[in-house]
Amino acid sequence: MTPNVLPNMKVRSPRWHDLLDVRTIDSSGDPQADLKEPTYENVEVGELFGPEVLPLTQYRAMRYDFIMGSRNALSGVTGSNNSPLAHPGSFSNELFEIYTLNYAASKIVGVHASEEIWLEQAASVGENIVLSGEFVEKYEKRGQGYAVVSGEARDQAGNLLARRLGTEIMRTVPGDVVGRKASSGSSARRMDTTVDRSARRVGPNANNFSPGDWFEFDPHLVTFEQAALYSRFGEYVTSIHGSMEAAQSAGLKVPIVQGQQQMCLLLDGFFSLIGPRFHSGGHIAAKFIGPVRVFSELTLQGRVFSCDGTPSTTRFECWLTDETGRTVTVATAEWTEK
């Protein structure tokens, strides 16, 4: 059964573009009021979310351009149908937070620990996509409750566009958790976050790669407005990313940048390196190992780890550092040419 005929699918008017339709607040009250508390205890493995239709409107594309500033390598790029390509980052947070169809988004006080995304094919601005997800696992580690959420995005013919798998520490004190992660730095130590600058540096739309090639992008300033908007401020969602009060109540001095927004910088780096071809066969697996305060300047660096196989698969190691040189995110990526 293809998504466009699935029963009970929610379809908003073509002009709406978010998981929460906040236009209903005046007539029916807070759309989050009857949703479950997002706690580890309430997580039910096997619980399904969606399918949910999400219009990739021009407004959504413009909003994403603002969130990314100048860092949208797909801005203005068109596909085979001559329509602008939609950056997967423009719907990545909805795919990550698909579980908030059942759980109150404004009551989330958690930490995004890791994220993995596989890209299969591109979507275009102006089309509707279908999101779905599932709680696939839950476990406890070092006194924290973790939930693993899967998600996928398809076009309305049922073709897979992207899928993801992420781990979230559920209800916690983020100030304690991110401070502990920052001081340990164990994941950063396992990856050598230096490059051999005597090797070849590769830039945008590289035609070929060799092991040892390295890349580095200009620092990217993430403002509070960008972090808040990416974290659903426009849906009246209160979070540690878009509210000083919520951040300080969670033990933080200021709001922090969402891990999924950092994933957008990684995605954009590889779209810059490889071009729209990364839509087909691209894969990134990231760990968020340190807090990123709003107004941080993040720099993406990395290197080519290996190139092998037929068809050719190129593997990368990469990382984000802030303006102090502290590593905040480490990731591996690969692209198989199709």
| pLDDT for the residue numbered 4 | 42
Q: Which helix (H) or strand (E) holds 114?
A: strand 111-119
| pLDDT for the residue numbered 251 | 87
| pLDDT for the residue numbered 118 | 97
Burial class (CB within 10 angstroms; exposed 0-12, middle 13-18, buried 19+) of 39: middle
pLDDT digits (tens, 9 = 90+) for 54-78: 999 888 888 999 999 866 777 778 8
Tokens linked to 265:
């910088």
pLDDT digits (tens, 9 = 90+) for 211-262: 999 999 999 999 999 999 999 888 888 888 988 998 898 888 999 999 999 9
| pLDDT for the residue numbered 201 | 95
| pLDDT for the residue numbered 130 | 94
| pLDDT for the residue numbered 187 | 47
Q: How many whole angstroms separate alpha carbon 273 and alpha carbon 132?
A: 30
Q: Which residues contact 290 (CB under 8 A, 6 or more apart)?
A: 178, 181, 182, 185, 188, 322, 326, 327, 328, 329
Structural domain spans, the chain: 3-336
| pLDDT for the residue numbered 77 | 80
Q: How many whole angstroms separate alpha carbon 316 and alpha carbon 306?
A: 7
Per CATH, the number for 3-336 is 3.10.129.10
Query: Which residue from 178, 46, 36 is spatially nearest to 110, judged by alpha carbons?
Result: 178
| pLDDT for the residue numbered 180 | 55
| pLDDT for the residue numbered 29 | 64
pLDDT means per 10 residues in the chain (338 residues)? 43 59 66 81 93 90 88 75 88 91 83 94 92 95 92 93 94 60 52 91 88 95 95 85 89 92 95 91 95 95 89 92 95 91
